[in-house]
Structure 1
Amino acid sequence: MEYTFSTAGALIGLVIAIILIIKKIHPAYSLILGALVGGIIGGGGLVTTVNTMVSGAQSMMSSVLRIMTSGILAGALIKTGSAEKIADTIVVKLGQKRAIAAISIATMIICAVGVFVDISVITVAPIAIAIGKKANLSKAGILLAMIGGGKAGNIISPNPNTIAASEAFGIDLTALMMKNIVPALFALIVTILLSGFLAKKASDNYESSGEAAPKNLPNLMAAIAGPLAVIILLALRPVSGISIDPLIALPLGGIISIIVTGNAKNTIAYTEFGLSKVIGVSILLIGTGTLAGIIKTSALQYDMITLLEIMNMPAFILAPLSGILMAGATASTTAGATIASQTFSGTLLEAGVPGISAAAMIHAGATVIDSLPHGSFFHATGGSVFMNIKERMKLIPYEAAVGLTSTIASVIIYLI
């Protein structure tokens, strides 16, 4: 058993990063400073600590490249109105009586095709607010419907967290997306049930919410052309053995979306918009890599395994547990899934847990307590329906229940 840094050092670094994030220091700088302090306190020395941080950041580069190119798809879906058209169609088809289910399914699908979860919620929010006013549904109910749907879609999407987990375990992205389809469906069902319960307690005033002005949206076939192209390209590997890397498939889908919707002249503007949406998460991943490097080369993973053995718990529990804890610590699905995957992939594989199952359990676990107040998702989603912090805090247990549902389902599937 060889390691460079102590468990205490790694944990102190993590705590420092969390405190700085809560104090509203940029998450990337918080993670870098936490890694530096944790490494030095952990006994690595300044030179070793910095070298380990750099190595950890370098290990993120393949994920960062894919995430940067995925911004083309995200930008295209948002700016062409395709994401809104998909959401609007789903809501119209299911009708107002099934409003909660419609809102959840719309958010799930938009997130699943490659739009980031917070943007998926923001995209659906104007439609959800309009439905809430007409059907007398509470803000808490409609926001939970969007968040839960987003969580379900996030674990089956080509989003940064999925890419990071697949990279860490060296597994196919499409295979990981498919692995969590059943857990995602269970999460969706629980979301609809819990949201329906909360939505009935309607006492909200929507007057100040404001609804988005109508847009000239593309037709449905044009709206789904880009995401459909991505799905087909990524599915070629398991179906026919032809491997199309997400680095190619995701931006190609975005270009197709831009052209089919008649926005070819706006290609540069839309791709730049997409890049602006992924720069933040790309920088976050680099900062995450520095802390992941310290944690990965510390005694933490060995001590966690020892603790599991003392508690007489099987090794595979490390996968969902690490996803839950790391996502909660960073208040980020992406950072949590990345740190957990980078740190424990080797240990889980050595314990005989298949990479695809371990990645799926970590990924699902990272959606349990990822929306805590020291993260941006908490504030972005609350702001989408003009909800204050006190009201937003009350949703955390319900969100955790949705994430825990997909995590338990993912574990059960592994055991079967």
Structure 2
Amino acid sequence: MDLQFTTLGALIGLVVAILLIIKKVQPAYGLILGALIGGLIGGGGLAGTVSTMVSGAGSMMSSVLRILTSGILAGALIKTGAAQKIAETIVDTIGEKRAIAALAVATMIICAVGVFIDIAVITVAPIALAIGERAGLSKSGILLAMIGGGKAGNIVSPNPNTIAVTEAFKLDLTAVMMKNLIPALCALIATIVLASLLAKKAGDGISQNDLEAAPAEKLPNALQAFAGPLTVIVLLALRPLAKISVDPLIALPLGGLVCILVTGNIRNLIPYTDFGLSKVIGVAILLIGTGTIAGIIKASALQKDMTALLSAMNMPAFILAPLSGILMAAATASTTAGSTVASQTFSGTLLSAGVPALSAAAMIHAGATVLDSLPHGSFFHATGGSVYMDIKNRMKLIPFEALIGLTSTIVAVILYLVAA
């Protein structure tokens, strides 16, 4: 593709989008407006800018379709109580004495089986608050345990961020998920260590007012709760094990239908799937907006200039993978948007530099979890609200979250270097 836009224009467009999001403009609109301004300043002209934006948004459609169908699984896990049962089973198995580890593992697994990270944290939060109050743990400690566990699960999940990276590099979803398994486990360990240090933080305890009086609800048993996620795992594993390719577009909703069926909620199929759609529609729309700015960035000189900068600094080309993931996720305050923009923009550059597609995808994906929870994103506020934490204390967790994401990123880079 001939370069149409200047690097300055692309960067100004990105900054405008960030500022609009910080000012609480709907993120999709902020990204679209930022793309338009960036394209015009970048010298593409109105017609060229709009054409590139439409093309960029169009490149997201396969990811959007998979994300929309994944809502069936998310809705099923949440509405049937399966997600809550999975969390309770893990906490009961590991024990309250190891509460921090239990909460981190529970959130990791819930996120890894296909629940969005913010929903995973919100699902585990009532259990975490109850355990934390009994054990005298701080809000900071339990929230970091859930966030870190969610970050670890997110890079080995069939969630929108993984789907977006997979699409950009034209890879198998299962392969991308498994590539970051070791980085995810290292992030989990870092989470447990850091959260344990914060767990005894003075003046940040949990009060009785923080505990929700949850209505009595009959949860499914453990076998029923795990049935849906296991169905997805088995279907996705057929490709590497038996050379039978089952697309996530099929596997994810099938897992949701199995969950609804085995929990005896078939009569609630329509309301549960409607609920699931309501949970993913925002992400799908965000991705369309992300596609517009990604199209401008991809058609700009930014890739060439960043590669030249790395060369001038004597840095190897593969560093572009984790670095782009970190920067784009920080810019959008979103793992999904960050990994999408980074992979869509720099996949060609990385592949032409000789970085294997799977390694590049893994490094970008891990990098996108470092600074994805900045205050101009919804994740920051949703997770803080889940444990009734004020913004000041929520801000203090960002460096710890970044360390957890950086752990998985560094491990992903090391694994690439070992394999190279």
TM-score range, shorter chain: over 0.9
Alignment of 1:250 onto 2:252: yes
CA contact (8 A) 2:136 2:206 kept: no
Amino acid at match of 1:210: L
The superposition leaves residues 33-76 of structure 1 with CA deviations (integer Å, 9 ceiling, x where unpaired) of 00000000000000000000000000000000000000000000
Q: Distance in 2 between matches of 1:214 and 1:194?
A: 34
Name structure 2 gaps, 5 residues minimum: none
CA contact (8 A) 1:137 1:202 kept: no
Give the secondary-structure state (helix, strand or coil) at the position aligned to 2:209: coil
Q: Distance in 2 between matches of 1:263 and 1:96?
A: 31
TM-score by length of 1: 0.99
Q: CA deviation at 1:201?
A: 1.5
Q: Distance in 2 between matches of 1:43 and 1:375?
A: 29
Amino acid at match of 1:97: K
Mapping of residues 129-208 of structure 1, within 5 Å: 129-203=129-203, 204-208=205-209
CA contact (8 A) 1:168 1:341 kept: yes
Mapping of residues 24-39 of structure 1, within 5 Å: 24-39=24-39
Which residue in 2 is equivalent to 1:334?
Answer: 336
Q: Distance in 2 between matches of 1:202 and 1:132?
A: 13
Which residue in 2 is equivalent to 1:210?
Answer: 211
Q: CA deviation at 1:308?
A: 0.2
Give the secondary-structure state (helix, strand or coil) at the position aligned to 1:208: helix
Which residue in 1 is equivalent to 2:295?
Answer: 293
Amino acid at match of 2:269: T
Which of residues 293, 297, 309 is equivalent to 2:311?
A: 309
Q: Distance in 1 between matches of 2:206 and 2:414?
A: 42
Name structure 1 gaps, 5 residues minimum: none
CA contact (8 A) 2:129 2:206 kept: no
Alignment of 1:373 onto 2:385: no
Which of residues 330, 338, 345 is equivalent to 2:347?
A: 345
Which residue in 2 is equivalent to 1:232?
Answer: 234
Which residue in 2 is equivalent to 1:414?
Answer: 416
Which residue in 2 is equivalent to 1:92?
Answer: 92
Large movers: runs of 4+ above 4 Å: none
Q: CA deviation at 1:210?
A: 2.6
CA contact (8 A) 1:10 1:42 kept: yes
Q: CA deviation at 1:202?
A: 4.2
Q: Distance in 2 between matches of 1:386 and 1:214?
A: 22
Q: Distance in 2 between matches of 1:172 and 1:206?
A: 46
Give the secondary-structure state (helix, strand or coil) at the position aligned to 2:208: coil
Q: Distance in 1 between matches of 2:202 and 2:169?
A: 45
CA contact (8 A) 1:139 1:202 kept: no
The superposition leaves residues 319-342 of structure 1 with CA deviations (integer Å, 9 ceiling, x where unpaired) of 000000000000000000000000
Q: Distance in 2 between matches of 1:207 and 1:40?
A: 55
Q: Distance in 2 between matches of 1:200 and 1:146?
A: 16
Number of residues paired by the alignment?
A: 416
Q: Distance in 1 between matches of 2:120 and 2:361?
A: 23
CA contact (8 A) 1:136 1:202 kept: no
Percent of aligned pairs sharing the same letter: 75
Q: Distance in 2 between matches of 1:265 and 1:102?
A: 34
Q: Distance in 1 between matches of 2:216 and 2:398?
A: 32
